[in-house]
Amino acid sequence: MDMGAGSYTLIRPHRRMSSVVFSSPHSGRDYPESLRRASVLDDFLLRSSEDAFVDELFGVAPALGAPLIAARVPRAFVDLNRAADELDPALIEGVRRVSHNPRISSGLGVVPRVVANGRAIYRGKMSLVEAEDRIGSFWYPYHVALKGLMQESRAAFGQAVLIDCHSMPHEALDIHLRPGQPRPDVVLGDRFGAAAGRDIMELVEAAFVGAGLRVVRNAPFAGAYITQTYGRPSQNMHAVQIEIDRSLYMDEKRIEKRSDFAAFKSLIGGVVAAVIAGLPGADVLPVAAE
> What is the chain's pLDDT, residue by residue, as a tens digit (290 residues)?
777 678 999 999 999 999 999 999 999 999 999 999 999 999 999 999 999 999 999 999 999 999 999 999 999 999 999 999 999 999 999 998 777 789 999 999 999 999 999 999 999 999 999 999 999 999 999 999 999 999 999 999 999 999 999 999 998 888 777 787 889 999 999 999 999 999 999 999 999 999 999 999 999 999 999 999 999 999 999 999 999 999 999 999 999 999 999 999 999 999 999 999 998 655 544 444 33
pLDDT confidence of residue 286: 42
Model pLDDT for residues 13-36, shown as the tens digit of each residue: 999 999 999 999 999 999 999 999
Which residues are paired to 11 by β-bridges?
Answer: 68
pLDDT confidence of residue 268: 98
How many C-beta atoms lie closer than 10 Å to residue 16's C-beta?
18
CB burial class (10 A; 0-12, 13-18, 19+) of residue 158?
exposed
CA distances from 29 to 7, 44, 74, 180 (A): 11, 11, 5, 37
pLDDT confidence of residue 287: 43
Domains by residue range for the chain, with CATH: 4-71+138-277 (3.40.630.40)
User: What pTM was computed for the model?
Assistant: 0.93
pLDDT confidence of residue 25: 98
